[in-house]
Amino acid sequence: MRLSPSFWARPFAHRGLHDKTAGRPENAMAAFDAAIAGGYAIELDVQVSADGEAMVFHDYKMTRLTGESGIVSDRTAQDLRATALLGGGTIPDLETVLHRIDGRVCTLIEIKDQSGAFGPTDGALERRVCDIVRASGHAATCAIMSFNPHSVLAVRDAAPEIRRGIVSYDFEHPHDAHIQADHRRALAEMAMFEECGADFVSYGADSLDTPPIVALRGRGVPVFTWTIRSAAQADAVSDHCDQITFENFLPPMDA
């Protein structure tokens, strides 16, 4: 196993330890600072700017998190860095975030699907993320993951030494309706796990009893789960995963 158990010794704060009412919107520097101060590991998201920079932002559209119109990939990194987040702070880039974390806690970096249908990618964003992780000097405390297995393949090819994983769930949400049924099934079953050489999976909490997950965990593959929002939910999944990604409550360190 390439991923040490120390990597998942702490619960992962989903998009940082965010609380917009406290001035810590999701994926903001303040949210990452709060996670580190609380002793939690970090999960964050990466979108691409118009000029190819890896920006730490969850949505494709700007509206929910900034109140502005348009999509992230239409704006330059300089423009995005100057864009205010609702609740405080501005949109950070990945290089700045990893410098701030400075290897103090483990970090899951999720590359958001840029293909529109979880298909092949040109690998440019993945290469940029890998370059940033390498340059940070803390590759041992970072792992890169994506819902798109082709993104994970691109990470494998660009930086085989960096730990990588597949994010998935049952792919039965209405927003997945545009994806062909057989491809949704393959994504849910992580059919490309072996080809990707994945080191772990992060799977939706409602489907941890799916046979592929049970089989992978039986082989010793680390299984994380998302997104846990209460102590009761954390208790319910504790026997079926190795660590949780959480928000809206504070789990104990032995969650």
Q: What's the confidence (pLDDT) of residue 254?
A: 65
Phi, psi of 146 (to 5 degrees): -160, 150
243, two tokens: 């660590």
Which residue, among 2, 33, 37, has the nearest Cα to 16 in the 3D structure?
33
CB 54 within 8 A of CB 132: yes
Q: What is the CATH number of the domain that holds 37?
A: 3.20.20.190
Residue 145 lies in a domain: yes
- 238: containing domain: 5-44+104-246
Global pTM?
A: 0.98
Tokens 């340059």 belong to 135
Mapping DSSP to helix (H, G, I), strand (E, B) and coil, where does residue 7 land? Answer: helix
CA 87, 30, 92 angle in degrees (round to 5)? 85
Which residue, among 41, 169, 30, 152, has the nearest Cα to 86 in the 3D structure?
30
Residue 197 lies in a domain: yes
Mean pLDDT for back-to-back runs of 10 residues, the chain (255 residues): 92 98 98 98 98 98 98 98 98 98 98 96 98 97 98 98 98 94 98 98 97 96 98 97 98 76
Residue 69 lies in a domain: no
Residue 204 lies in a domain: yes
Residue 91 lies in a domain: no
Give the β-pairing of 41-48 and 54-56.
Answer: antiparallel
Residue 241 lies in a domain: yes
Residue 18 lies in a domain: yes
Residue 229 lies in a domain: yes
Q: How many domains does the chain have?
A: 1
